[in-house]
Amino acid sequence: MQTAASLLASAERRSLLLPDRGVEIALLDWGGEGPIALLHHANGFCKGMWAQVAEGLRADYRVIAMDARGHGDSSRPTGSPGEVFVWDQLALDVLAVAEQLVSESGDQKLALGIGHSMGGTSMLGAASRRPELFGRLVLVDPVTPPPPDLEPPIRQTRVDEMAARALKRRADWPSIEEARVWWKERDFFAAWQPEAVDLYALDGLRSRADGSVELKCSPEVEAAVFGESGSIDVRALARRTSTPCLWLWARGGNFPLPFYQTLVAMMPDARLEELDAGHLIPMERPDLIVAAVRGFAQSEEVS
């Protein structure tokens, strides 16, 4: 198994300027001779968290991971959080990146879009607008807020709780080594693979002039994204998406299986697979994602 540093070093760092979107999106491009797979991370994280999955998929795809606006090495557009981090805007960023990558490659579509948590919902939002642009989708425990017309008091309470927790997140440390030690002592990171912790340190932290480090995605940005999660109706996105889609539900995650089953049933070509992991599957069991992607591709070829 390669180290986190070698996995990141094997990818080209580049960015896409999206002038119509007012943002520059940072990418990690692991290359490969196959068709393009575009990967999108969860809220508060970064493109480097996909490195272990990329290692497993490079034989079949040209794997490219993106940073969301305000995350990692991507820029943050000007404007209030309520404007900048509306989830429709996150989905439109994915769509713009996908369109530019397809234009560069000369392909007719992306072979695969993979998104985790917020990234999964954003990927679904992009594909709902242009289903023909994506060959297949794999949604890794995507965020599925209750529909806007259901249980509004409980719904808003949950959104507010997530945003409040994000604001309390520690954001800086005297050194990268001390950040690693601090994370490894927290229950949140207990199920992470050691390489995932290192990937977070190497791609998710920014060095300051005095040698200290800080999260590239600030708690304020993460909280703003959570705060705007109620702005989407996942049911509407599912109904509009005809792209073949695999939903991966984490048994130890945060979202109810029956709602996933309802969403899958709304789509013309979708299936559901349960994974024995927590919500942070790319950090805990990247091998399960690789196996699911390969199985999904094979099933599509047979059908």
At which residue do the structure tokens 């560069």 appear?
Answer: 104
- The Cα–Cα gap between 61 and 66 comes to 15
Higher pLDDT, 230 or 9: 9
Q: Which two structure tokens, joined as six digits, stand for 141? A: 């425990």
Q: In what order do the strands lie in the sheet with 36-40?
A: 12-18, 23-29, 62-66, 36-40, 112-116, 137-140, 245-252, 270-278
pLDDT of residue 155 exceeding 90 = no
What is the overall mean pLDDT for the chain? 94
pLDDT class for 173, splitting at 50, 70, 90? very high
212-215 long-range CB contacts below 8 Å, 24 or more apart? 212/172, 212/173, 212/174, 212/175, 213/172, 213/173, 213/175, 213/176, 213/179, 214/171, 214/172, 214/173, 215/169, 215/171, 215/172
Q: What is the pLDDT of residues 115-137, one digit of tens each?
A: 999 999 999 999 999 999 999 99
Average pLDDT score over residue span 23-49 = 96
The string of DSSP letters for 248-276 reads EEEEESSS-HHHHHHHHHHSSSEEEEEEE
What's residue 15's pLDDT? 97
Task: Measure the CA–CA gap between 290 and 184, rounded to whole angstroms.
Answer: 25
CA distance 252 to 279: 6
Residue 76, φ and ψ in degrees, nearest 5: -110, 120
How far apart are alpha carbons 187 and 8 in whole angstroms? 26
- pLDDT confidence of residue 203: 98
Q: What is the pLDDT, as a whole number, of residue 162?
A: 83
Give residue-wise pLDDT tens across range 141-150.
999 876 655 5
Nearest to 10 by CA among 62, 46, 60: 62
Residue range 178-216, pLDDT digits in tens: 999 999 899 999 999 999 999 999 999 999 999 999 999
Question: Would the CA dihedral through 2, 72, 165, 213 be positive or negative?
Answer: positive
pLDDT at 69 over 80: yes
Architecture of domain 4-147+233-302: 3-Layer(aba) Sandwich (3.40)
Q: Looking at residue 134, what DSSP letter applies? A: B
Domain ranges of the chain: 4-147+233-302
The confidence score (pLDDT) of residue 229 equals 85
pTM recorded for the entire structure: 0.95
- Mean pLDDT in residue range 244-257: 95
pLDDT in tens, 73-113: 999 999 988 889 999 999 999 999 999 999 999 999 999 99
Q: What is the pLDDT of residue 160?
A: 82
- C-alpha–C-alpha distance, residues 94 and 92, integer Å: 5
Quick: pLDDT tens for 277-288: 999 999 999 999
Distance CA 198, CA 7 (A): 11
Largest CA distance in the chain: 57
